[in-house]
Amino acid sequence: MGNVKFSGLPVAPTVSPADGFAVVQGGVSKFSSLANLWEATPVGNANYTILSTDVLVTTSVAFTLPRSWTLPSAASYGAGRILRVVDSIGTITGTNTLTIARAGTDLINGATSQVLSVARAFLLLVSDGVSNWTIVAQSSSVFTGNSYQAITVSAAGNTNSNQSASIHYMNVTVAAGAGVYTGTLSLPRAGRIAGDSANILLTVAASTNPKIQVFDNTTGGTKLFEFQGDGVLTQMALVCVYTGTVWYLHDAHFFN
């Protein structure tokens, strides 16, 4: 039988976002509304748990604090589906960041989270339907560029570097303080990718009081560096590099 052409069919009725279409997810036929193809989910100045029905999640109110949006599990979202996260109003800053966090033990490009730290940043993520999300598109400035952070440590306590730029410069002044103490710095893994670096200049008071330590991820992680003030050395420069899994000390120089 040759090709058959149909003509004179009735005009299709108007469809609404509530109307549906058939999809196959995980080998199972399911119903999905047309709205799922395009409908945005606006989120205000708050943390949010993204639903498996969300396809486009956008900012709608300026942040006043760092916020975290948690992904649905990759298994519940379904293999091959793409989730879009967009700072549509330009509310994200280097201070009021947006962390995209995993659900459970899922991974996002091999990491537990990704950090957006510039206005208009966006991520497009695809689920493998099991336990992994892969970034298939992102704003060029999400993980690029560098940042500068000045820190003064004058007492015991940990300073957590929360920068997500690929190159991070830290100018750390370790003052003598009121007495003997140990100050610590932590280099988190969240929002970092393999090859990222942290360049740290430590200026230590000419005293035997302060001790400074640098750790991978948290103070419970691997200690990368330690210096006890000796009353002579006052400056040292460190370079730490991220492998995609852990930080390691790449280089250290001491000078007066």
State the alpha helices, DSSP H only, in the chain.
Answer: 74-77
CATH top-level class for 29-138? mainly beta
CA 169 from centre of chain: 18
pLDDT by residue (tens digit) across 166-185? 778 889 998 876 678 898 99
Determine whether 125 is exposed, middle or buried from the number of CB atoms within 10 Å of its CB (0-12, 13-18, 19+).
Answer: buried
Query: Is pLDDT of 4 > 60?
Result: no
What is the residue extent of each domain of the chain?
A: 29-138, 146-255
Residue 178 to residues 156, 182, 212, Cα–Cα distance (Å): 10, 12, 15
Would you state the pLDDT for residue 45? 96
HSE toward the beta carbon, residue 57, CA cutoff 13 A: 24
pLDDT by residue (tens digit) across 77-87? 999 999 999 99
Q: d(Cα 182, Cα 16) in Å, to the nearest integer?
A: 64
Tokens found for residue 192: 């970092």
Would you state the pLDDT for residue 143? 46
pLDDT by residue (tens digit) across 201-250? 999 888 888 889 999 988 889 999 999 988 888 899 999 999 888 999 99
Would you state the pLDDT for residue 46? 95
- Mean pLDDT calculated for residue range 89-105: 89
pTM for the model stands at 0.51
Tokens found for residue 189: 């893994």
The amino acid present at 171, given as its one-letter code, is: N
Q: d(Cα 94, Cα 66) in Å, to the nearest integer?
A: 9
Tokens found for residue 59: 């900012």
Tokens found for residue 151: 């820190």
Q: In DSSP terms, which residues pair with 187 in a beta bridge?
A: 216
Cβ neighbours around 191 below 10 Å, total? 23
Q: In DSSP terms, which residues pair with 42 in a beta bridge?
A: 58
